Structure 1
Amino acid sequence: MRTGRGLQLAVLAGMLGLALSTPAGAEARDISRDNLAPNDGWAAADGGTTGGSTAGDAHVFTVRNRSELVRALDGGSATPKIIRIAGTIDANTGDDGEKLGCDDYATDGYDLRKYLAAYDPRTSGSAKPSGPQEEARQASAARQAERIELAVGSNTTIVGLGDRAVLKGASLQLRGADNVIIRNLDLRDAYDCFPVWQPNTGGLGDWKTAYDNIWLRGATHVWIDHVTLSDKGHPDEDEPTYFARNYLRHDGLLDITNGSDLVTVSWSRFADHDKAILIGNGDTATGDRGKLRVTLHHNEFEGVVQRAPRVRFGQVHVYNNRYVVPQDVHDYRYSLGVSTESAVYAENNAFTTPGHIEVADLVKSWNGTALHQTGTLFNGYPVDLLAIYNAYNSGSERDLTADVGWTPTLHGQIDSARQADREVARGAGAGRIR
């Protein structure tokens, strides 16, 4: 509501046929010093998450291009800092601001046609790629990684200004960082110019890509809020097929691995992508036990094929999320992945899957033993997700029990799945903080 002089200006603008809008690079309120609420998921535990909220004025930056962003990140230093992103920043740019393409990174004679000829499985079989073209691919990939992998250090807040802040082509790397906030930012198209072919002795093999939009490795106390993550600009479905496999250019949207812990992901949108969120990266990573504690709430997963999330080891609270699988997603695999020693506690989530998905398809288990679920809504109807999964998979997979060994206590009000579905549709993603 506008009052006083603000109301007078609005009325005057209307009489003159003008529109009042927030100036470019500004926002209605300063969110950059916000802290995570005391009970808002796992990231609120053990002292909470404050990011760079204590930063002095000398360490508050507004950045508009890659060079300014890199300087503000300060090599991933732990100095408290606030970084405000204005407009669109493309990580695939040179120090002079010129756009860089895949040809600019290619070196040592790398050529895709020669690479395909060298490692065609019809002639090379299951042998791992090696030799001049694989070495050239690795060198070329290293050149791209140097530009687009951006280290985020401890005590850092990164926020987008206004409702159109975009970071494209980048992979934000939180390696060992503690106390980080990322909010109100559209992160898109972490595009790998140089995928590697991985043969498989039991099948055709596949293409593997290198970059996640955000990657937490050993990171703690992280709050990711009102971000949008997607492949926008270069969808994998538009890529060609080589060796009977889609030439993938993107990996995950958000990976939480290598003992990361105390993470909250809220009011964010994961869209039009294959692998959304991986929590725990290996069945043998027993050092992850007691870690990988993550809360996912009020997020939207639309057009996501799998990993929403896939979990190993962690205690993961998944509540009030919205899942939409459009009819054109023909290769849908699952939403909730239950893997080794995982303890997923799912409450009041809504799934809309018109026409081609069954309830039992929503869950996939690899060595998983338990899944707690209540309040699940499927195409507008309440369902017992666990019972249906077990009935459908009886005899082919071990039944999942409902006892995951813990009960979440760090959370706000948990709404019905129906109410959450409406609210998330209106409020999740970048540019929607109110």
Structure 2
Amino acid sequence: MSFSRSHARLIVTTLACGMALTSLAVPAQGQSRGPAVPVERAVLPANDGWASDSGGTTGGSTAEADHVYTVTTWAEFRTALAAAKDTPSIIRVKGTLDALSDSAGNTHTCDDYAVPGYDFDKYLAAYDPAVWGYENEVSGEQEDLRAASAKRQDAQIKASVPANTTIVGVGRDARILGGSLQVRGVDNVIIRNLTFEDASDCFPQWDPTDTELGNWNSEYDNLVLYGSTHVWVDHNTFTDGRRPDGQQPYYFGRLFQQHDGHLDIVRGADLVTASWNVFTDHDKTMLIGNSDSASATDRGKLRVTLHHNQFKNLVERAPRVRFGRVDAYNNHYVVQKSGYGHSFGIGIESQLVAEKNAFTIPRGVNRGLILKKWKDAPVTTSGNYVNGRYVDLLAVHNARIPEETLRPDAGWTPVLRTSVDNPRVVPLIVDSWAGTGRIR
């Protein structure tokens, strides 16, 4: 016997709670009651987070036949995006799109994008702190060659998404490998059922002035929403995959960091819903607002809903918030035993509501780390469970890290929610239904 996700909700809630049901049966996500709607034609349901506000999010659901594309290579994908031109369009992704591959589909490596004369060993020798020091940013021949190489990669792996577009993976194995999707200054975009893997920077820059010990800094988010509105990101999987940070080398005593964010929402982006995604095995996962100085563009914007996502084995930023009015509910956070930094980062003028989430945390990890204070801002935390038991996240944080005391009450109450699950069954529901290949 097979069960829909709605039936599973009813069953597991009954078994876990032994009381009246706390979850309502809902239709398959992105569809309305009645005849089934093809995944590529689905729209965001009413009241499903901030992206449903002010007219909702429909993507390319009304696309005519000549604006429905099926792509199997990175080159075909970028051609389809260019052809869409803001006209309602659907782009169906089949198999793996390798962003480092050429127009003929031949796989390339980072070495193929290095300009003549760039040599990483020479780069290390030139900017070794024992030679260069920590006082000045790097400059000179090898840095110029690194920057030129990075520019070539940038032109290859970025893909710009136009307005009124739906991008959807076909089946269970649709994947964008090494690519960076740019949703910049557009409205009405849907991205579903894709695995985003390893948007890796081939040419990270050494910055000796970044902290007292310096840092390697990288570019390229898997997906960035920059000044865009009405975006629904649903049932995707984000992972470093073939190149996890934990397996990267150290140079100058610092991790050779080749990844930036999984999903960043910045520079006045607004009205976003991210639902039923998996974010796994990463460091800087999700940034909502990328600068304390961006008040002119970000204040009153960055309204984001995060629900029924799995955040697994991450270091930090799930999410880190500046300015935004963010609703995070019914997410499952699976915390790694070593290297954990925080889940919710509280930044300047943020208004985060974190309710009815579930945390699975190994013994020995400080629960006070779930919240991290970057700047003074109020936060609402209620109904959250850790390892199956209710925990007042704010009280635990303030008791264990008193030097970073946070204030309660974000000052608003979310209303754009479809159904809210009991946090005790969130791990089972989310782990069963989140990620690529699990749309019902």
Same fold (TM over 0.5): yes
CA contact (8 A) 1:344 1:370 kept: yes
For the residues of structure 1 that align with 2:359 and 2:336, how far apart are their CA atoms?
A: 11
What residue is the counterpart of 2:95 in the other structure? Answer: 87
Closer/same/farther in 2, CA of residues 374 and 73 from structure 1, 3 Å limit: same
Q: Secondary structure at the match of 2:233?
A: strand
Q: Deviations over 1:124-182 (max 9, x none)?
A: 11221111111111110111111100001111100000111111100000110210000
Closer/same/farther in 2, CA of residues 185 and 201 from structure 1, 3 Å limit: closer
CA contact (8 A) 1:75 1:153 kept: no
What residue is the counterpart of 2:15 in the other structure? Answer: none
CA contact (8 A) 2:67 2:84 kept: no
What residue is the counterpart of 2:75 in the other structure? Answer: 67
Q: How does 1:282-321 map to 2 (within 5 A)?
A: 282-287=291-296, 288-321=298-331
For the residues of structure 2 that align with 1:219 and 1:51, how far apart are their CA atoms?
A: 13
For the residues of structure 2 that align with 1:65 and 1:201, how far apart are their CA atoms?
A: 38
- Deviation for aligned residue 1:201: 6.9
What residue is the counterpart of 1:324 in the other structure? Answer: 334
Stretches of 4+ aligned residues off by more than 3 angstroms: none
- Deviation for aligned residue 1:200: 2.1
* Matching of residue 411 in structure 1 with residue 417 in structure 2: yes
CA contact (8 A) 2:262 2:285 kept: yes
What residue is the counterpart of 1:19 in the other structure? Answer: none
Q: Deviations over 1:57-105 (max 9, x none)?
A: 0000010011110110017731211000011111110112111101100
Q: Secondary structure at the match of 2:407?
A: coil
* Matching of residue 372 in structure 1 with residue 380 in structure 2: yes
Q: 1:334 aligns with which of 339, 342, 349?
A: 342
Q: Deviations over 1:251-304 (max 9, x none)?
A: 110000000000000000000000111000011111211000000000000111
* Matching of residue 420 in structure 1 with residue 426 in structure 2: yes
Closer/same/farther in 2, CA of residues 76 and 130 from structure 1, 3 Å limit: farther
Q: Deviations over 1:218-253 (max 9, x none)?
A: 011000000000100111211111000111111110
What residue is the counterpart of 1:190 in the other structure? Answer: 199
Q: Secondary structure at the match of 1:373?
A: strand
For the residues of structure 1 that align with 2:253 and 2:228, how far apart are their CA atoms?
A: 37
For the residues of structure 1 that align with 2:172 and 2:299, how far apart are their CA atoms?
A: 39
For the residues of structure 1 that align with 2:397 and 2:367, how far apart are their CA atoms?
A: 7
Matching residue's letter, 2:307: H
Q: How does 1:22-171 map to 2 (within 5 A)?
A: 30-74=38-82, 77-126=85-134, 127-171=136-180
What residue is the counterpart of 1:268 in the other structure? Answer: 277
What residue is the counterpart of 2:14 in the other structure? Answer: none
What residue is the counterpart of 1:6 in the other structure? Answer: none
Matching residue's letter, 1:407: T
What residue is the counterpart of 1:210 in the other structure? Answer: 219
Q: How does 1:365-404 map to 2 (within 5 A)?
A: 365-394=373-402, 396-397=403-404, 399-404=405-410
What residue is the counterpart of 1:227 in the other structure? Answer: 236
What residue is the counterpart of 1:172 in the other structure? Answer: 181
- Deviation for aligned residue 1:393: 2.3
Aligned residues: 405
CA contact (8 A) 1:49 1:181 kept: yes
Of 275-284 and 195-204, deviating more is 195-204
For the residues of structure 1 that align with 2:233 and 2:56, how far apart are their CA atoms?
A: 13
The gaps in structure 1 that reach 5 residues or longer are 3-27
Of 417-426 and 35-44, deviating more is 417-426
CA contact (8 A) 2:314 2:336 kept: no
CA contact (8 A) 1:325 1:353 kept: yes
Matching residue's letter, 1:418: R
For the residues of structure 2 that align with 1:147 and 1:237, how far apart are their CA atoms?
A: 26
CA contact (8 A) 2:44 2:52 kept: yes
Closer/same/farther in 2, CA of residues 429 and 201 from structure 1, 3 Å limit: closer
Q: 1:360 aligns with which of 368, 371, 396?
A: 368
Q: Deviations over 1:174-226 (max 9, x none)?
A: 11021000001111110110000111275111000101000111011000000
CA contact (8 A) 1:321 1:420 kept: yes
For the residues of structure 2 that align with 1:150 and 1:76, how far apart are their CA atoms?
A: 13
What residue is the counterpart of 1:12 in the other structure? Answer: none
For the residues of structure 1 that align with 2:204 and 2:374, how far apart are their CA atoms?
A: 26
For the residues of structure 2 that align with 1:134 and 1:389, how far apart are their CA atoms?
A: 42
For the residues of structure 1 that align with 2:190 and 2:336, how far apart are their CA atoms?
A: 31
Q: Secondary structure at the match of 1:290?
A: coil
CA contact (8 A) 2:193 2:439 kept: yes
- Deviation for aligned residue 1:363: 0.6
For the residues of structure 2 that align with 1:62 and 1:281, how far apart are their CA atoms?
A: 34
- Deviation for aligned residue 1:312: 0.2
CA contact (8 A) 1:33 1:53 kept: yes
Closer/same/farther in 2, CA of residues 271 and 202 from structure 1, 3 Å limit: closer
Q: Deviations over 1:307-332 (max 9, x none)?
A: 000000000000000000133xx111
What residue is the counterpart of 1:5 in the other structure? Answer: none
What residue is the counterpart of 2:6 in the other structure? Answer: none
What residue is the counterpart of 1:15 in the other structure? Answer: none
Closer/same/farther in 2, CA of residues 344 and 76 from structure 1, 3 Å limit: farther
What residue is the counterpart of 1:251 in the other structure? Answer: 260
For the residues of structure 2 that align with 1:427 and 1:194, how far apart are their CA atoms?
A: 36
For the residues of structure 1 that align with 2:301 and 2:204, how far apart are their CA atoms?
A: 31
For the residues of structure 1 that align with 2:211 and 2:355, how far apart are their CA atoms?
A: 38
Q: What is the TM-score normalised by the length of structure 1?
A: 0.91
Q: What is the TM-score normalised by the length of structure 2?
A: 0.90
For the residues of structure 2 that align with 1:270 and 1:77, how far apart are their CA atoms?
A: 30
Give me the identity figure in percent. Answer: 52
Q: Secondary structure at the match of 2:190?
A: strand
Matching residue's letter, 1:217: Y
Matching residue's letter, 2:308: H
Q: Secondary structure at the match of 1:190?
A: coil
Matching residue's letter, 1:426: S
For the residues of structure 2 that align with 1:154 and 1:215, how far apart are their CA atoms?
A: 14
Q: Secondary structure at the match of 1:32?
A: helix
CA contact (8 A) 1:75 1:151 kept: no
